[in-house]
Amino acid sequence: MAGKLSTHVLDTANGRPAAHMRYQLFWVEERGEVPMKSGTTNADGRADGPLLEGERFGAGCYKLIFHVGDYFADIGHPDARRFLDRVPLVFVVDDATKNYHVPLLVSPWAYSTYRGS
């Protein structure tokens, strides 16, 4: 059974999905970070499909960077980039046969995440 990695971003300041937010995914290793995927969230605040799945999804350390400053500036929020600009989430996948869902709940001033499935 193969697992997959997915994400979803919710704009908690406005109570809606964070549509059109740019994200970048990296594989993290001792020598540095290897770009894996980048894109923007859809109207529901989700990537259009799994970020990784199948043979491309393995155990190890990953980093997701969300461009929250650009998102809040694009929607005209007055506090855009006054505190948060990019939110980096570094996390470990220890069993790539499982699903890892990495949601981000974000405002211009704070963020939260957790491991979903």
Q: What is the pLDDT of residues 82-107, one digit of tens each?
A: 999 999 999 999 999 999 999 999 99
Output 88 or 55, whichever has higher pLDDT.
Answer: 88
What domains can be seen in the chain, in order of their start residue?
4-113 (2.60.40.180)
The answer on pLDDT for 72 being more than 80 is yes
Taking only the tens place, the pLDDT of each residue in 5-42 is: 999 999 999 999 999 999 999 999 999 999 999 999 99
β-strands 100-106, 4-11 pairing: parallel
- What pLDDT does 65 receive? 98
